[in-house]
Amino acid sequence: MVSAYAIRKLLEAEKLPDSIASSKIRVMSYPLIERVPDSATWDRIDKHYDFTSEEVQTLDLDKLCNQFIHSFIWMRESDMERKRLVGIFVASDWARKTCLYRVDIESLIRLYRDVGLEEVASLHRRRDEFGQWEYVSKLTADEVENGASDDRVY
């Protein structure tokens, strides 16, 4: 949750390169069966969500961060044989009324690593009609050297 909050703060302050700020994260989505989980039943996700009807979705970075920041459901998924974390089930107080998301831990690690290692190397801005600065582009050193990259999908 703290990492998601830090990323959202960087997004709002426009401190992330465009390629990261506009990235999409692949998640699995499971629809609500009928009864919305409450504070007494939030951990019984198999009773509330249909795991046979999983659907691949892509979430904008800020929407993913909000799922963690406002999480009503937050549960880890472990591979017991290999004794390792493989994913996180998460749903905000609003999303829990329609679906549950599963985020692959490898995707989340790649995202966090990119956020931590990339920095804005080239910044272009202009004044808007009210005289306030607005950002036109924020590029990484690699993007400046090799041209803008494709949209990132984690």
**What confidence tens digit (pLDDT) does each residue in 16-27 have?**
999 899 999 999
Domain-located, residue 50? yes
Does the pLDDT of residue 149 top 80, yes or no? no
Q: Are 58 and 33 in contact (CB under 8 A)?
A: no
What's the number of domains the chain is made of?
A: 1
Domain, as residue range, for 72: 2-117
Q: Are 45 and 73 in contact (CB under 8 A)?
A: yes
Domain-located, residue 26? yes
Does the pLDDT of residue 52 top 70, yes or no? yes
Domain-located, residue 86? yes
Q: Are 61 and 25 in contact (CB under 8 A)?
A: yes
Domain-located, residue 81? yes
Domain-located, residue 153? no
Domain-located, residue 41? yes
0.95 exceeded by the pTM? no
Does the pLDDT of residue 43 top 70, yes or no? yes
Domain-located, residue 35? yes
Q: How confident is the model at residue 138 (pLDDT cuts 50, 70, 90)?
A: confident
